[in-house]
Amino acid sequence: MDLLYARAQMGLSLAFHIVFAAAGIALPLLMVLSDLKARRTGDADYALLSRKLAKGTAILFAVGAVSGTVLSFELGLLWPAFMGTYGEVIGLPFALEGTAFFTEAVFLGIYLYGRERIPAGLHLFSGVMVALSGAASAFFVTLVNVFMNDPSGFTLTAGGPVNVDPVAAMFSPGWRHQTAHTLLACYQASAFAMAGIHAFVLLRHPGAAFHRKALSIALPLACLSALVQPLVGHQSAEHVARAQPLKLAAAEGLFQTQRGAGLSVGGLPDVETGTMRYAVEIPKGLSIMAFMDPDAEVKGLDAFPRDEWPPVAKVHVAFQVMVGTGGAMALLAVVTLFLRWRREAWPEDRRVLWGWLLCGPLGVVAMEAGWLVTEWGRQPWIIRGVMRTGEAVTPVQHLAAPFWTFTLVYVFLGAMVVFLMVRQVAGTLPGHEPPVGEVAHEH
C-alpha cells in the first residue's frame, strides 16, 4: 500500500511539475520572439505581449522552481534505494540540469527586473539565455529518464553497480529520440495553450488587435512543433520496438507474438482473457510502423514473464490518447498552414479559431499522456531490468499522509495559477486595457 502511495505522490509531483517546467522552457522563447518582433516593427502591442509573457513566465517558473525543489528531495524521500545505489551512475545529468536551471533563474531575474536598467541588447540577450538554459535543463533531466528506460554505463553485480561510466550512462540508448520528443512536447504544449487562450478571446472579441498579434506569435511555433512531433515520435517508437519490445507490446495491446501484426486503434485490452476489445485493427499496421516491413515479427506480451508486464490497459489507453491528440493537432496545423499559404495571413475565421480553442489543451494532454506511457510502460521497474520499483521505495510508513498533503497543496496551487493567468489575460480584453500612459505600470 505504501508503495502505491509513494508512486502516486511521485507521479502527482511530476505530472504537476511537467506543466510548469514546459511553460518555463517554451514561454521564454515566445517572449523573446515577441520582443524581437516589437523591435523590428516598433509595434507597442508586441512589446506589451512580451511583458505579459514575461510575467506569465515569472509566475509559472516560480511554481516550477518550487515543485522542482520538491522533486529533487522526493527522489530520496520516496526512492532512497534508487538514489543510494544508482545516484552515482546518473548523478551527472542531474548536476548539469541543476547548473542549467541556475543559469535560467539568474537570467530570468535580469530579464524581468532589468528592462529599464540595462541596455536593450543585453536585456534581449538575457531573454535568449533564459530560453536556452530552460531547454538545456529539460534536455538533461530527460536523459535521466532515458537511463531509467534503458540503463547503460555500468556493470551490474550483486553488490551494486561497478565500472561506472557516468558519461555513457548519461547517453543511454535512445537519448536522441527521447530528448527531442520531450523538448518538442514542451514547445507544443505551451504554444497550443497560448494559441487556445487567444483564439478564445478572438471568438468573443473578433476585433482585438492585441490578441490577433499574440496568435500570430503562437501559431508558427505551434504548427511547426505539431508537424515535426509525429515524425520524431515515430522514430522514437521504432527505437522502442527494438530496445523495449515489452513497452511497445503494452502500448499496442499486442498479446501474441506474430508476423504481420495489426495496429489496434482505440480499444481496451483485457489482460484476463488476453484479448483486445472494441479496437479497430489496421492489418499489418504495427509491423509496418515498427519495422517498415509488413511481415516483420512483433513480440507480444506472451514473449515476456507475466510478472514483468506493465499495467497493459493503462499504457495502451495513454498511448492512444497521446497519438490521437497528436494527430488532431497535426491535422489542425496542416489546415492552418494551408490557409496561411492561400491567404498570406494567419486565418481568422471562426471555424479555425474554434479549432485552436478546442485543441488548446491537447498539447498538455498529449504531453502528460506520453509521459504516462513511458512511466507506466516501464513498470514494474524503476530502472528497467535492474531494480524494481518495489525494491526502491522508502521504509518510512504512513506515506498516505504526505501523499494527501501534497495532493491538496498541488490542487490549491494549480487553482491559484489558473486564477492569476486568467487575470493576466483579462487585463488585455477590449475595454479593459490600461490607458496608454500606464502600460508601463500595469500589473
Q: Nearest approach, Cβ of 43 to another protein (angstroms)?
A: 19
Q: Nearest approach, Cβ of 406 to another protein (angstroms)?
A: 8
Residue number, 297 or 391, with CB nearest to another protein: 391
Residue number, 185 or 393, with CB nearest to another protein: 393
Among 346, 96, 123, 139, residue whose Cα is nearest residue 222: 346
Q: Nearest approach, Cβ of 98 to another protein (angstroms)?
A: 4
Neighbours of 119 (CB within 10 A): 9
> Are the beta carbons of 188 and 329 closer than 8 angstroms?
yes
Residue number, 19 or 365, with CB nearest to another protein: 19
Among 9, 19, 6, residue whose Cα is nearest residue 369: 19
Q: Nearest approach, Cβ of 17 to another protein (angstroms)?
A: 11
Dihedral through CA 19, CA 20, CA 26, CA 32, nearest 10?
A: 160
Residue number, 373 or 393, with CB nearest to another protein: 393
Residue number, 14 or 89, with CB nearest to another protein: 89
Neighbours of 243 (CB within 10 A): 15
Cell of 390: 518495489
Residue number, 2 or 348, with CB nearest to another protein: 2
Determine the angle formed by the axes of helices 209-243 and 44-78, rounding to 10 degrees: 30
Q: Nearest approach, Cβ of 48 to another protein (angstroms)?
A: 12
> Are the beta carbons of 110 and 126 closer than 8 angstroms?
yes
CA–CA separation, 154 and 85 (whole Å): 12
Q: Radius of gyration (Cα) for the chain, nearest Å?
A: 23
CA–CA separation, 315 and 379 (whole Å): 10
Q: Nearest approach, Cβ of 1 to another protein (angstroms)?
A: 17
